[in-house]
Chains A and B, each alone.
Chain A
């Protein structure tokens, strides 16, 4: 499963770069930069763990029978969902972790997937303006 590991590395590298850029923006332009950066790092770390768990789940699910794979994936999804809920709850309740930057950190993996796999392809932009009738 080397191709999956390469994908992990690419996405984590992009997420790391974006975390650094956002942390610099928080540091330069915001007063409460400490709580913002702490929330951002917290969110990115949790979403990274979630991504690894999702990857392990899917790698295991494809070797099962379809019915078992379906129930196993749904079960694991709800476990991750509860974990995300706990993380957001902690961010809301703790005064030195900013909740908005935590949520931003949790969504950074999605942005890095979009950037590394969709928006870096010229064909994507060409297809937007291409006529679909033919």
Chain B
């Protein structure tokens, strides 16, 4: 009985379905990349607010430096997002079958 069920399941899973399932898992893993920059930006903004509270005349310098760092950090999240969206909606691996 168990053998028959296993054989039926193996026959049902074809190559395309396997690739799509693996791509969905990969897309989910790639989305984890978006969490890091968010947490990092939050910490930076918190410390920036502390810095401005301690030295209000340096606000312009603090915001400027933080802006450059945050903009560069944000692009790393975009890389993960691009990988996830391409895996989900324009998967190049399905055509290879």
Chain A residues within 8 Å of B, Cβ to Cβ = 1-4, 7, 50-51, 54-55, 57-59, 61-67, 69-74, 77-78, 80-81, 84-85, 88-89, 92-93, 99, 103, 106-107, 109-110, 113-114, 117
- Tell me how many residues of B have a C-beta within 8 Å of chain A: 39
Interface secondary structure of A, over-half rule: helix
Contact indicator B67/A110 (Cβ below 8 Å): no
Which A residues are CB-close (under 8 A) to B47?
66
Using known A-B contacts A50-B74, A66-B50, A69-B48, determine if residue A88 contacts B62 with beta carbons closer than 8 Å.
no
**In the bound complex, what is the Cα–Cα distance between A84 and B90 (angstroms)?**
17
8 A-B pairs with the lowest CB-CB distances in the bound complex, closest first = A73-B45, A70-B46, A69-B49, A74-B42, A66-B46, A70-B42, A61-B45, A77-B38
- Measured between beta carbons, the chain A residues less than 8 angstroms from B63 are 1, 4, 55, 58-59, 62
Q: Determine chain B's interface SS by DSSP, over half rule.
A: helix
Q: Is B71 an interface residue (CB 8 A)?
A: yes
Alpha-carbon gap, A57 to B37, bound state (A): 15
- Residues 30-53 of chain B, each 1 if its beta carbon lies under 8 Å from chain A, else 0: 000010011101111111111111
